[in-house]
Amino acid sequence: MIEVMKAFVKESPLNWSDVLQGPYYDEPIIQFASADDPLFEEYKSIIGPGHATPKELIERSFGSGTYNGGSVISIVLPIHESIRKANRQQKERASREWALLRTFGDEYFLKAARIHLTDYIINLGRLAAAPLDADWYGITSTDTGPISNWSERHVAYAAGLGTFSLNDGFISEKGIAIRLLSVVTDLQLPSDPRSAATHTGNCLLCSKGNCGVCITRCPVQAISKNGHDKIACMKFVYGQGSREWAAQSGGEATSGAGCGLCQTKVPCESRNPMRNAK
């Protein structure tokens, strides 16, 4: 399973940019959570009652009574150095390289990777479904910002891949400049432990009180020591200016250009900063 996805990331032509002359993503980290982990039920209180459990996902995909346990596969895809390097130089908006990542990495490659993994498992004669490709998947607007009914970050936390950060990103062992994907299956895979002391354990500011670089990197002041203004962030990341810059950069306007400034030129960009924290 792990080697299959590593090979796909390495070999897929969709993970290559002729414009950038390099890949969008580096070798992934892949871990597993039990589909019966009680944390998934807790997410209905933490995130919202509409957040699906693995059991609900399987039965929505394959019918009532088809769930007999299983696993959730969560994958961290580190963003390639050349894209991160370009974005480090930015102060007001995403780099051209990051804008291309939003369209061709995030929209095209991530979907292809989810399909590849689900098809691989189904060809083994087992059940598999990717929540983000389900017809019921959606994002709801609330007074505090958008909420999805399947959070890749919360799934990655359940699989022990890292923790949340001040800016609501996810800090893995390969840092915060990453993308995430997940697939639910009836395969019984060995669960990985959660080793972080708290759900923000990898964030220097939350754990040690001695960072906050992401606050200074945000071009719309959507991050403060009190947390992350999701609405201000969303308006900037998916607003008209972002869509125009995406198109000008060679991407698709509907994808937006993203931002990623708070994920680059920060101590957690490509590593877990708590590994060497004093």
- Looking only at the bridges linking them, the beta strands covering 128-129 and 223-224 are unpaired
pLDDT digits (tens, 9 = 90+) for 85-136: 999 999 999 999 999 999 999 999 999 999 999 999 999 999 999 999 999 9
Q: What is the mean pLDDT of the chain?
A: 96
pLDDT at residue number 144: 80
The single residue listed with the structure tokens 């060809």 is 123
C-alpha to C-alpha distance for 262 and 24, rounded to whole angstroms: 18
DSSP 175-243: BSSEEEEEEEESS--PPPP---SSTTTT-HHHHHS---HHHHH-TT--EETTEE-HHHHHHHHSSHHHH
β strands within the chain, DSSP E: 29-34, 71-78, 128-129, 139-142, 145-148, 162-164, 170-172, 178-185, 223-224, 227-228
Type of residue at 137: Y
pLDDT digits (tens, 9 = 90+) for 124-140: 999 999 999 999 999 98
Predicted TM-score (pTM) of this structure: 0.95
pLDDT digits (tens, 9 = 90+) for 161-187: 999 999 999 999 999 999 999 999 999
pLDDT band of residue 214 (cuts 50, 70, 90) is: very high
